[in-house]
């Protein structure tokens, strides 16, 4: 690391709790589930339950200019990211569109193809069975104008991998580094780690970074079902001996990371100082999976023990086990450490899950929320993290928060933040 200090001067989230840090703080403190039954076609695909943001489309304009960021060019996860970004920009006092060559945007997301409903309707109009015939189809050019009115070229535009961070850059007016990290549930926290590195290496003085995710597409839900991700009993129990899987949720969580001198010059509120970060890669199934995860944690926080941790808490058998063993190997005694995970309440939000948990832990360490504590009976492998769910960590100046994301596909990231006076 260089001599440049990196501060967290803003945070926001969207989830089934609602929009903003206050909604996240209140939801965590309540301990109540925001998961509900899915409707229509989604109800026919396992698991049939999930966490969805209840925000009318007409209210999107409260967070970004829908005349500039047209909804027709945005996937749902891009929209979720822009909603959180709009709330974040208002909190940190930066006006969108002013032009900021010293600031950038990194966002972790996932490649989810559009469902191409409109294209399917258009092709059905063009290629149809002649009236009175039992077999065969014909292409009817006379219906071309009618078909083109149904099709949407924007479906292909929305699917471009770089669109999420591109929209954030347009929304904020940030002209510095921009990147969308894809293909891993750790990409959201990875983007935060890379944003800290960008400021540390003088690529930027300020960065928006985090994750956004939308799982509610039939093909995606079924794919995750084949991977054994979803529970069939309607509840998520991280690190419990009887854990059975997770449930899907949509959401986003973003931070504003800022170089210390720039933050102090504008009198920014400081949530904490980044004191370390790391990310590692390992082939799934490698015998060193646990040790690589432990190394990632220790690289982010080489000395001491965190007061608050923000692990994934997915409730998945293998991942929970490896998470718990890695924390035990890295830090040993966690008897004074509290954990924060929103997954049991809002669902697993993919790349947004780790940033959302980190935001919750930062709120707790700053005294802005008291996450509900639960007693969990872990097994011999998960007892280390199971105990932290029932404990409360240190609050106020000097408390250290450690966020981590260990994905099933072998991408691991961690970041440590110290609360200042």
Residues 236-243 have a mean pLDDT of 97
Please state the rounded mean pLDDT for residues 188-192.
Answer: 97
Q: Among 84, 11, 25, 69, which Cα is nearest to 250's?
A: 84
The answer, yes or no, to whether the previous bond of 186 is cis (omega within 30 of 0) is no
Angle made by CA atoms 27, 223, 353, in degrees to the nearest 5: 25
CATH of 6-113+159-418, one of 3.40.47.10, 3.30.200.20, 3.50.50.60, 3.30.1330.10: 3.40.47.10
Residues 326-379: tens digit of each pLDDT: 999 999 999 999 999 999 999 999 999 999 999 999 999 999 999 999 999 999
Whether the per-residue pLDDT at 113 is higher than 90: the answer is: no
Q: Given this model, what pLDDT does residue 380 score?
A: 96
pLDDT of residue 161: 79
The stretch 316-335 carries a mean pLDDT of 95
User: What pLDDT does 147 receive?
Assistant: 78
Q: In whole angstroms, what is the distance from residue 193 CA to residue 213 CA?
A: 18
Mean pLDDT along residues 310-315: 96
Q: Which pLDDT score is estimated for 114?
A: 63
Whether 1 shows a pLDDT value over 70: the answer reads: no
* Interval 80-105: pLDDT, tens: 999 999 999 999 998 876 678 999 99
Checking if the pLDDT of 157 tops 80, the result is no
Tokens of 311: 């692990």
Confidence of residue 417 (pLDDT cuts 50, 70, 90): very high
- Summary mean pLDDT of the chain: 93
- Over its C-alpha atoms, the chain yields an Rg (Å, rounded) of 22
**CB-count burial class (<10 Å; 0-12, 13-18, 19+) for 374:** middle
| pLDDT grade for 132, boundaries at 50, 70 and 90 | confident
pLDDT confidence band for 239 (50 / 70 / 90): very high
Separation between Cα atoms, residue 344 and residue 369, nearest integer Å? 17
pLDDT band at residue 38 using 50, 70 and 90 as cut-offs: very high
pLDDT attached to residue 98:
67
Per residue in 199-234, pLDDT (tens digit) is 999 999 999 999 999 999 888 899 899 989 999 999
Q: Which helix (H) or strand (E) holds 106?
A: strand 103-108
Q: Which long-range contacts (CB under 8 A, 24 or more apart) does 144-147 make?
A: 147/122, 147/123
Q: Is the pLDDT of residue 159 over 80?
A: no
Does the pLDDT at position 59 exceed 90?
Answer: yes
Contact 249, 15 (CB under 8 A): yes
Domain ranges, ordered by start, for the chain: 6-113+159-418, 117-157
- pLDDT > 90: what percent of the chain? 76
Q: Which pLDDT does position 126 carry in this prediction?
A: 81
Tokens of 187: 């990409």
Show the tokens assigned to 158: 């929305």
- Look at residue 284 and tell me whether its pLDDT is greater than 90: no
Cα–Cα distance for residue pair 276/304, rounded to 1 Å = 12
CA neighbor of 171 nearest in space, from 239, 221, 104 = 104
Helix, strand, or coil here: 204?
coil
Mean pLDDT of 37-47: 94
Residue 172 three-state SS = helix
Rounded distance, CA 356 to CA 185, Å? 13
Q: CA–CA separation, 294 vs 282, rounded Å?
A: 12
In the prediction, which pLDDT does 116 show?
66
Interatomic CA distance for residues 217 and 26, integer angstroms: 29
Q: What proportions of the chain, in percent to the nearest 5, are helix, strand and coil? A: 40, 20, 40
> Does 150 or 174 have the greater pLDDT score?
174
At 284, list the tokens: 């799934």
Lowest mean per-residue pLDDT among 49-58, 116-125, 351-360? 116-125
- Listed range (181-185, 251-255, 387-391) with the worst mean pLDDT: 181-185
């Amino acid at each position: 690391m260089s001599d440049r200090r990196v501060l967290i001067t803003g945070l926001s989230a969207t989830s089934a709790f609602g929009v903003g840090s206050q909604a996240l703080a209140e939801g965590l403190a309540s301990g109540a589930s925001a998961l509900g039954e899915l409707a229509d076609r989604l109800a026919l695909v396992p698991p049939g339950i999930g966490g969805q943001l209840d925000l009318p489309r007409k209210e999107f304009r409260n967070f970004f200019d829908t005349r500039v960021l047209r909804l027709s060019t945005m996937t749902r996860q891009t929209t979720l990211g822009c909603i959180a970004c709009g709330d974040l920009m208002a909190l940190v006092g930066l006006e969108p569109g002013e032009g900021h060559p010293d600031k950038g945007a990194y966002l972790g997301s996932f490649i989810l193809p559009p469902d191409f409903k409109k294209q399917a309707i258009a092709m059905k109009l063009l290629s149809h069975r002649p009236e009175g015939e039992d077999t065969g189809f014909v292409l009817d050019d006379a219906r071309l104008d009618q078909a083109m009115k149904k099709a949407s070229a924007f479906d292909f535009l929305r699917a471009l991998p770089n669109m999420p961070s591109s929209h954030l850059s347009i929304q904020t007016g940030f002209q510095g580094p921009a990147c969308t990290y894809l293909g891993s549930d750790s990409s959201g926290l990875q983007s935060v780690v890379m944003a800290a590195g960008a400021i540390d290496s003088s690529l930027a003085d300020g960065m928006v970074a985090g994750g956004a995710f939308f799982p509610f597409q039939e093909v995606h839900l079924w794919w995750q079902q084949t991977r054994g991700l979803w529970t069939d009993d309607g509840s998520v129990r991280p690190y419990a001996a009887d854990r059975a899987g997770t449930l899907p949720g949509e959401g986003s969580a973003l931070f504003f990371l800022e170089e210390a001198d720039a933050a102090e010059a504008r009198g920014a509120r400081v949530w904490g100082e980044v004191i370390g970060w790391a990310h590692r890669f390992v082939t799934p199934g490698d015998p060193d999976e646990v040790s690589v995860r432990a190394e990632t944690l220790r690289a982010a926080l080489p000395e001491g023990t965190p007061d608050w941790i923000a692990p994934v808490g997915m409730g998945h058998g293998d991942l929970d086990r490896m998470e718990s063993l890695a924390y035990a190997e890295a830090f040993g005694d966690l008897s004074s450490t509290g954990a924060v995970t929103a997954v049991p309440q809002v669902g697993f939000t993919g790349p947004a899950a780790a940033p959302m948990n980190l935001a919750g832990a930062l709120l707790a360490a700053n005294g802005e929320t008291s996450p509900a504590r639960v007693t969990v009976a872990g097994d011999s492998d998960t007892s280390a993290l199971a105990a932290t769910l029932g404990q409360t960590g240190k609050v106020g100046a000097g408390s250290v928060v450690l966020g981590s994301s260990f994905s099933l596909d072998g991408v691991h990231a961690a970041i440590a933040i110290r609360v200042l006076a």
